[in-house]
């Protein structure tokens, strides 16, 4: 199974700053089948990015994804107050699908 390792575990930033979150896979992710999710307390995860770089419906363009192979990045260009949450990456190119352990984005 593909293990996804996210870094950092916690990221402390201020609104208006740029956030860069990393997801590293233990082996190459087939066809860049890599997704990013945002989760707020008491809510289900929300799909942000699929196919490594395609924004899901209704997702603001301040969210962008990049990468291929084993290294992927989620960038939030200018943080809004509502962006502070936990972010997960997930690969769906190989069974079993696997998720990273999450990065908590907190207000500095």
Partner 1 sequence: QVQLQESGPGLVKPSETLSLTCTVSGYSISSGYYWGWIRQSPGKGLEWIGSIYHSGSTYYNPSLKSRVTLSVDTSKNQFSLKLSSVTAADTAVYYCARDVSFDHWGQGTLVTVAS
**Residues of this chain that bind partner 1 (CB under 8 A):** 1, 33, 35, 37, 43-47, 50-51, 56-57, 88, 90, 92, 95-99, 101-102
Compute the least distance from the CB of residue 56 to partner 1, in Å: 6
Rounded to the nearest angstrom, the gap between the alpha carbon of residue 13 and the centroid of all alpha carbons in its chain is: 16
Q: C-alpha angle with apex 90: 1 to 97, nearest 5 degrees?
A: 40
Name the residue nearer to partner 1 (CB basis): 23 or 79: 23
Compute the least distance from the CB of residue 16 to partner 1, in Å: 29
Name the residue nearer to partner 1 (CB basis): 13 or 92: 92
Compute the least distance from the CB of residue 29 to partner 1, in Å: 12
> What is d(CA 29, CA 60) in angstroms, rounded to the nearest whole number?
25
Residue-wise burial string across 29-62, b where 16 or more C-beta atoms lie within 10 A, e elsewhere: beebebbbbbeeeeeebeebbbebbebeeebeee
Compute the least distance from the CB of residue 97 to partner 1, in Å: 4
Name the residue nearer to partner 1 (CB basis): 16 or 97: 97
Tokens standing for 14? 């201020």
């Amino acid at each position: 199974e593909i293990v996804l390792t996210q870094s950092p575990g916690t990221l402390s930033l201020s609104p208006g700053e740029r956030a860069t979150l990393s997801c590293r896979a233990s082996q190459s992710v087939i066809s860049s089948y890599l997704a990013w999710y945002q989760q707020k307390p008491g809510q289900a995860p929300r799909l942000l990015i699929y196919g490594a770089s395609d924004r899901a419906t209704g997702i603001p363009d301040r969210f962008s994804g990049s990468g291929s192979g084993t290294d992927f990045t989620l960038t939030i260009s200018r943080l809004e107050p509502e962006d502070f949450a936990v972010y997960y990456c997930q690969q769906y190119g190989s069974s079993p699908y696997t998720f990273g352990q999450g990065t908590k984005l907190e207000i500095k």
